[in-house]
Amino acid sequence: MEGIGTCYYRRVHHRLFPEGIDRFYTPFLSVYPNLAFRKRDLREIRPAAGECPEDTKIRRMLVPQILARNAKEILWAAQQLSALGFSMIDLNMGCPSGTVVGKGGGAGMLSDPGRLDRMLGEVFSDPDFAASGVTLSVKTRLGLSDPEEFFTILPVLSRYPLREIIVHPRVRAEQYSGHPHRELLRRILWSTQIPVGYSGDLFTAEDVHRFRDEFPEIPHILLGRGIVSDPSLARQCSGGAPLSVNELKSFVQAVTTEYEAVLDNERQLLLKLKELWYYMGALFVSRDGSDTERLLRNLRGAASMSEYRNALYALFEKCTLGGHFSGIA
329 confidence band (pLDDT: 50, 70, 90): very low
Tell me the mean pLDDT in the region 146-175: 97
**pTM, entire model:** 0.93
Q: In the predicted model, is pLDDT for residue 48 greater than 90?
A: no
Alpha-carbon distances, residue 310 vs 261, 265, 298, 321 (angstroms): 21, 19, 9, 19
Percentage of residues in the chain with pLDDT exceeding 70? 98
Alpha-carbon distances, residue 249 vs 5, 107, 246, 312, 316 (angstroms): 19, 37, 5, 10, 8
Alpha-carbon distances, residue 164 vs 18, 219, 287 (angstroms): 24, 11, 45
Task: Give the HSE-up count for residue 86: Cα atoms under 13 Å, Cβ half-sphere.
Answer: 28
Per-domain residue ranges of the chain: 7-237, 245-321
Average pLDDT, the chain: 93
pLDDT digit string, tens, across residues 16-30:
999 999 999 998 899
pLDDT digit string, tens, across residues 84-120:
999 999 999 999 999 999 999 999 999 999 999 999 9
Torsion, CA 306, CA 308, CA 314, CA 316, rounded to 10 = -120
DSSP letter, residue 3: T
pLDDT digit string, tens, across residues 175-218:
998 899 999 999 999 999 999 999 999 999 999 999 999 999 99
Strand 319-321, strand 284-286: pairing: antiparallel
- Annotation: CATH topology of 7-237: TIM Barrel (3.20.20)
Distance CA 108, CA 123 (A): 18
pLDDT digit string, tens, across residues 59-68:
889 999 999 9
